[in-house]
Structures are given as C-alpha cells and as structure tokens.
Chains A and B, each alone.
Chain A
Amino acid sequence: MPVGEREALTGLITMLIVVVLATFRLFDQHASGAFDGPDALQVWARSILILIGVSIAIAIAVSVLAHILEAVLTGERPDDRRDERDHLIERRALSWAWYLLSFGILAVIVDLAFGSSAFRALNLMLALCAGAELVKDGVKLILYRRGS
C-alpha cells in the first residue's frame, strides 16, 4: 500500500473518531448549560484545544497501529517512499478540500450577515474544517483505489 493511501485511510479513521468525540463532548456541554454564560466562547475554545490535543494523540496511535498492521499482514516493512503520483494525488485531494472550505466559509459569512450568532459560526467553521479533512482523505483514497 502506498504511503499516501495508508495516510488517507488512517486520516479518515482518526477524523471519524474525533468527530464522534467532539460531537458528544460539545452536545454534552451544551446540554449542561456550559455555553450559556458570558464566557461561553472561552469555554468552547478550551474544549476545542483539548480536542485538538486528543486528536493528535489519536492520529499518532492510529498511524503506528496501521504501520504495524501492514507490516504484519504483508510480511514486509511498509514502503514510505513518495513519488510523483503521490504528490499529484495529494494536490488533487487538497484542491477538493480547498473548494469545500472556501465555499463553506463564504456560506458562514453570509449566515452571519443574516443574523446568526458568532457561536454558531465558530461551530460551523469547526465542522467545515473536519469536513474538508474528510473530503481530502476520501478523495485521496478514491484516487488511489481507482489507480489514477
């Protein structure tokens, strides 16, 4: 398996875990009224910083596990070289993620202009970042699987 394909797969797994964790955590805080006070944005920001730290730890763990699993299944040391095709696939995937992020941010700004709260805008931005990451890894996986 090319290194880019493995990274896309581990990225998707990591992001799905993080999205589930973040959703539960934020909904839980919302239900307990943590975001009702005047310091709602600070509470939100602290939660997100903790989630970023947790997601880095999850990414490292998933990556190491995938590396070990591939070595066990194939009986060979995984090939971590990147070539021109890996770079091309990376660029294509990044452009898809960039389109989503650009149009998404524009939509959030329009939403703000029509009276949406800053809190809602921040949550939408966060969801957009996660969505863009999922799209990037998903496109990469499709391109690798298609053979292009």
Chain B
Amino acid sequence: MSAEKAKKTVPYTVPIGPVHPALKEPVMFTFGMEGEIVRTVDFAPGQTHRGIEWMGMRRNPVQIVHLTDRICGICGIVHSLSFARAVEQIAEIEVPERADYIRTILHELERIQSHLLWAGVAAHELGFDSLFYLAWRVREQSMDLIENLTGNRVNYGIVQIGGVRRDISDEQRALVEKGLDYYQGLLDQMATLFLKDSTILMRCRGHGILSGDDARLLCTVGPTARASGLNMDVRQDYPYCAYGDLDVKAILPPPETGGPQGDVYDRIIVRLLEVGQSIGIIRQCLGQLPAGEILWEPKMAKLLSVLKKAEGEGIGRVEAPRGECMHYVKMAGKEAPDSWKVKASSYSNLMSWIPMLQGEQLADIPIIVASIDPCLSCTDRVAVTRNGQSDILTKEDLTRLSREKTRRMMQ
C-alpha cells in the first residue's frame, strides 16, 4: 500500500479543486505506475474532517439529529435514522407504526434518487454526457416527490426521536403513486440504455474486479459487496422500521447476466435493479400504511427530560444506498451522549479500492473509483510516476483519457 517499491512517488499537497460535477470530498491518491498499468495505490482521506462526533458529545440528542442530517448531503435520511434508532433503543421509546412506515417510504425514495445520481455520474465518467443529463433530469421527479413530502430537496429534517415530524396526506399519496408510475415506465428504458449498450459493456465488463473473498475480508458493504456475490442487506438480515413486514431480498447480479463477477458492470446492474425494488416497496408501504400518530412524544420538553435520564448503549443500523450505515451511542444520564461513533457506508468501502485498481489502466481509474459510489470522492490531482518521471495529472486529464479510450474502443 505505501510506496515501498523502488519507484518514487511524490505525494503532493495540491490545491484541491473538485473539478467535476458531483464530486464530493477530495481524496488524495498516489499511484505507482509501470507504463500504463497501476501497480501500487495509496490514498489519504481526511480533507472534510469537521469534528462531528466531538461536537455531538456537547449537544443534546435532539440537536444532534439536526447535525446528522448534514453529515452527508446525498445520504439524506440515513444518518438521522440510524442515530434516532440508537437513541430509541437506549431510552426504550416505542415508535408508532405509522411513523415507521413513513420513514420507510422516505428511505426508499432517497435510494431511488441516490442511485439515479450515481448512474449519471458513472455515465459522465465514461463520456456519455447526454446520459448524464438524462439521468439527472429523471432524478428531478423524485426530488419533487421528496420536496412535497418533507419540504426540502436535500437535508430532509423529517426524523425526530420517537417518530417523524410530518404526516402524509391523501393528496400527497396520490402524487407519490403518480410519480411511481412514471418511474416504472422509465425503468425498462434506463435498463436498456445502460445494460445493452455495447460501449458500456466493453468499458465495464471485466474491470475493477473485487473477488468475493476480498470483499469479505475487507468488510465491504452495500452494492459493492452484493456485486461480488455476498448476500448481505440490512433490510433483509436485521429488520428495522417497516421491513419486518415486507419481504425484501438482497439483490445479487442475476444468472441471466452471468452471475456475480464483482466488476463495474455488476455494480451497475445491482443498482438499477434496486431502483425497481424500491418502487415496489414504496407501493407496498402506501398500501399498508397504518393509521395512528406519528410521534411518540410531541412535546419537546418532555422528550428532552426523558432523554436526559436515559442510560445505556445502542446500535442503530440502516441500509443506506451505499451500504450499511451504523451509529453507536452511549448515554449516561447526562444531557449530551457520552460517546458517539458514526460509521458511514463509504468508510467500509474505501479499502476495496486497493485490490480493484491494481493492474488496471490509467484511463480506467475514474470509472472504477466512481463504481463504489464513494461519498468521499475522487481527487482532482493525482501524482503519477511513469518510468521514473513524475507527472501531475488533473481530474480533467484523467476524464479526458477515459473518454478517449471510449472513442478508441468504438472504432
């Protein structure tokens, strides 16, 4: 992992400019190259460390829920949901059933918009800008639904300890059903566009392979692990919210496309199929929505006084679009929690970059890095040593190389 080989790599501290649309936290990569092939990979995260867990230990749980909303902007509801569930376990708060179902509906809507976002980014890395714009245009429909239900496009602010803050009325239900019909009709088209296209097949099949054993040992989660054949999905294994009443199966690459091979193409398949699964889940939830209240305790002062006396430890786990998101909370009878640990899903997936990138070509790096859907993103500058000479490539250069390769392969 570190540069122990004879080739000298020059890790630069470089002015970071996430050059790319949809690029998130900058990560510094250092590759050791031999010709066009990557030999060693090293990366350093940490550019967006804001001290969230430390800040959380100075605030009361209701304030922390608002902080968790902003840990990551793309994972809208997952952090607040995990944290709220952990605290509910400690304080033994019973969430009303209607709130569980509303949480599930929003959870799945978020999954749809996150996968469509990723589909656009992947297409952009390969050079298909029109597909990128198409996918994001389609995503706007789900953003409209989310805005209608929660009041905001990003950072929903709907989870409260003990339930949800807003209810779903009948007009909103009709709107959601209409939106789902729109997506149902669109899904086949998107599947054809992505999966039957020969260029995507050429670029993605057989690249960025993560074997099943590697995935297990490196503790990967989410679609990255499922594409490598691991049968893990928190909704199926460790039921939370309304999933205990539904029948959710982990989606693995089906035998029609060759079974799980662990490459980039499999990850595309898993994500697209999950969008279809989410549509079905939302329909089921809307059909089974129980009546009742939405909050365990609407009065804030009473809720805070209950939380102040709570003691114990709790673990809240949900299946984010990228994998398993887990929060560990320990409360000891004070206003602020004693201890709080956040594990975002990309935390577990980052280490899988190393076996995936070894032996690949330089022009394949953008799509492989984007294929695990990192919430910390690819850097803009990469220090590359080729034949003893070091070279700084910007993200623009890497993307240009990636697109040129597509054009070469299409001839």
Say whether A and B bind each other. Answer: no
Report B's interface with A, CB cutoff 8 A.
none
Q: Residues of A with Cβ closer than 8 Å to B? A: none
